[in-house]
Copies of this chain bind each other. A is one copy, B any other.
């Protein structure tokens, strides 16, 4: 059906394998996962996930996000488009990505180190991340300023001899609650006097450095997302060797830009997958339940919702696939309008479709009995993650208006 897009046979086979893995292992584990989180120490690894990761490692689907032809890191050699179609499938379950070491923010962090790190960085941090031995976080957003405008970021990175000394507070460091989180990629100001887009740098901060304190976890519309979690982290006189800087001082924005594209595709396609699942649940539930002598699915308004959802999903999927295709063929820079668009479209899509699915489920839809309630909370959050919708709409509008300036 989508065969106008170039998908290799290799990718198609991975897709088949992934679909089977989802059916055989992921979906049946969802309830168990939830239960184990509820019953155990919320902030420790979850047994069923460790089992799934073991299976994922054997499946040949491990690290498939690593699209680069990096033989020694055993990436899957997929294009953004190809991997995107797999993200949709993984995205259907909230536990669908981690079994393949494909969950955010690790994927983005691994890509960042792969692209911008030294061989030493790779040996020390990329290797164990790819092996799933450690986890990582990305330390950008700050509580004290509107971080949607990254020039507002205030954390200081000050050179002192062979070290950089870091001071500041970051929050929404996703994954930082996990005891296995060992490395942060942190963005901060090295030179407040440089021109605006040269002030910030990115640096690798070992998470067990003295002065790094996880202050608390942040919840997301009532969910703590344990054991992964989102943390507020204080960096107080944290010292790291100068070699930990990525690319060099003042290149934070450059890295942020380079890092963006693939992550957007992943997020957006996972959202499409989440929306597909919500639509499926809407139909199933609607066919099961009867009110006022009619199946809920066959009431006029429900049919209207189903149709709207189908139309929105199809359009969003095509848009994301098209954006991925453009990234693959003309590069992230030319495709930046497309990358901005999918951010807005996918997050709002899933919010709307899940909202309708909840309505069809009635009160069950907001309870812990289905995945809809947490999807709804996630969707709300996706409209803020990586910058609120409005920032991306600004970008799209600016690119549009550019052609009319002269």
Asked whether A123 is an interface residue with its Cβ less than 8 Å from the other chain, the reply is no
Asked whether A258 is an interface residue with its Cβ less than 8 Å from the other chain, the reply is no
* Contacts known (A145-B289, A315-B319, A362-B384); A396 close to B221, Cβ less than 8 A: no
* Contacts known (A283-B400, A301-B300); A314 close to B319, Cβ less than 8 A: yes
- In angstroms, how far is the closest chain B Cβ from the Cβ of A374? 7
* Contacts known (A289-B145, A344-B311); A401 close to B297, Cβ less than 8 A: yes
Chain A interface residue count, Cβ-Cβ cutoff 8 angstroms: 94
Q: When the two chains form their complex, are residues B401 and A388 in contact, meaning their CB atoms are under 8 A apart?
A: no
Asked whether A28 is an interface residue with its Cβ less than 8 Å from the other chain, the reply is no
- In angstroms, how far is the closest chain B Cβ from the Cβ of A272? 12
Which 4 A-B pairs have CB atoms at the shortest separation, nearest pair first? A300-B300, A222-B222, A303-B397, A307-B393
Q: Name, among A319, A337, A355, A388, the residue most crowded by chain B CB atoms within 10 Å (CB to CB).
A: A388
Asked whether A308 is an interface residue with its Cβ less than 8 Å from the other chain, the reply is yes
Q: When the two chains form their complex, are residues B365 and A384 in contact, meaning their CB atoms are under 8 A apart?
A: yes
Return the contact of A303 from the options B143, B300, B362 (Cβ within 8 A): B300
Q: When the two chains form their complex, are residues B219 and A307 in contact, meaning their CB atoms are under 8 A apart?
A: no
Asked whether A194 is an interface residue with its Cβ less than 8 Å from the other chain, the reply is no
In A320-351, which residues have CB < 8 Å from any B CB?
322, 325-326, 329-330, 337-338, 341, 344-345
- In angstroms, how far is the closest chain B Cβ from the Cβ of A324? 10
In the bound complex, residues from chain B placing their C-beta under 8 Å from that of A363 are 141, 147, 171-172, 218, 381, 384-385
In A264-312, which residues have CB < 8 Å from any B CB?
279, 283-284, 286-287, 289-292, 296-304, 306-308, 310-311
Return the contact of A311 from the options B3, B143, B314, B396 (Cβ within 8 A): B396
- In angstroms, how far is the closest chain B Cβ from the Cβ of A361? 9
- Complex Cα distance, B146 from A298, in Å, reads 14
Q: At the interface, is chain A mostly helix, strand, loop or mixed?
A: helix
Asked whether A6 is an interface residue with its Cβ less than 8 Å from the other chain, the reply is yes
* Contacts known (A219-B368, A221-B366); A311 close to B389, Cβ less than 8 A: no
In the bound complex, residues from chain B placing their C-beta under 8 Å from that of A2 are 322
In A349-376, which residues have CB < 8 Å from any B CB?
355, 358-359, 362-369, 373-374, 376
Q: When the two chains form their complex, are residues A364 and B307 in contact, meaning their CB atoms are under 8 A apart?
A: no
In the bound complex, residues from chain B placing their C-beta under 8 Å from that of A345 are 311, 315
Q: A residues touching B (Cβ–Cβ < 8 Å)?
A: 1-6, 141, 143, 145-149, 152, 171-172, 218-223, 279, 283-284, 286-287, 289-292, 296-304, 306-308, 310-311, 314-316, 318-319, 322, 325-326, 329-330, 337-338, 341, 344-345, 355, 358-359, 362-369, 373-374, 376-377, 380-381, 383-385, 388-390, 392-394, 396-398, 400-401, 403-405
* Contacts known (A4-B4, A221-B376, A300-B301); A306 close to B341, Cβ less than 8 A: no
- In angstroms, how far is the closest chain B Cβ from the Cβ of A337? 8
In the bound complex, residues from chain B placing their C-beta under 8 Å from that of A3 are 329
In the bound complex, residues from chain B placing their C-beta under 8 Å from that of A344 are 307, 311
Nearest residue (CB) in B for A220 is B366
* Contacts known (A292-B149, A396-B306); A287 close to B1, Cβ less than 8 A: no
Q: When the two chains form their complex, are residues A1 and B326 in contact, meaning their CB atoms are under 8 A apart?
A: yes
